């Protein structure tokens, strides 16, 4: 059973109830210019204790923190969105794209692994084909995988969950 959004946010110290719905967050959001994300709507839904966990827009936030920095009431909007996302994941809800990125993290140790094009560009720039990351050191990748397993990340993102659908708004 999920925690009600407003209760979860209150427990984490967020003050969504002080939002005056001025729209500064939405107007400041670069992601909102290219996606359906309307941070003000997310805040309003959470304030009203409506289900934001199944909302695709919850996942459109890139956590640039512009909404949070510009909020005249000092509401920690991006932090709250991350809290709501975490609860959503614990409920087994993730966008398919985010589940794929999590899978890459588990398999390769990077959310965006270096592909052949990336290697060629690095070489062209006079750099090593692989950076000093888990790409170069298989033992480090093993350590990352162990960390992801011990923290429960692997089970959390690979368990059969419900993927948020297009209608989930």
- What's the confidence (pLDDT) of residue 19? 86
In 3D, which of 115, 111, 149, 109 has the Cα closest to residue 133? 109
- What's the confidence (pLDDT) of residue 128? 92
Structure tokens at 44: 């309003």
- Which CATH number describes the domain made up of 5-91? 1.10.1060.10
Taking CB atoms within 8 Å and a gap of at least 24, the contacts of 64-70 are 64/29, 64/30, 64/31, 66/28, 66/29, 66/30, 67/24, 67/25, 67/26, 67/28, 67/29, 67/39, 68/25, 69/28, 70/24, 70/25, 70/28
Q: CATH 1.10.1060.10 residue ranges in the chain?
A: 5-91
Average pLDDT value over all residues in the chain? 87
**pLDDT tens readout for residues 20-57:** 989 999 999 999 999 889 999 988 898 888 999 999 99
pTM for the complete prediction? 0.75
């Amino acid at each position: 059973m999920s925690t009600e959004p407003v209760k979860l946010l209150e427990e984490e110290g967020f003050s969504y109830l002080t939002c005056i719905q001025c729209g500064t967050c939405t107007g400041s959001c670069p992601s909102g210019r290219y996606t359906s994300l309307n941070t003000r709507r997310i805040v309003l839904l959470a304030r009203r204790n409506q289900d934001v966990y199944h909302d695709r827009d919850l996942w459109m936030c890139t956590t640039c923190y512009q909404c949070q920095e510009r909020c005249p009431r000092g509401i920690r909007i991006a932090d709250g969105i991350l809290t709501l996302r975490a609860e959503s994941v614990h409920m087994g809800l993730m966008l398919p794209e985010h589940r794929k990125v999590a899978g890459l993290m588990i398999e390769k140790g990077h959310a965006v692994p270096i592909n052949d094009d990336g290697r060629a560009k690095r070489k062209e720039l006079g750099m090593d084909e692989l950076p000093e990351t888990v790409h170069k050191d298989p033992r480090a990748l093993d350590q990352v995988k162990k960390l992801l397993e011990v923290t429960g990340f692997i089970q959390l993102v690979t368990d059969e969950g419900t993927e948020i659908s297009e209608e989930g708004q």
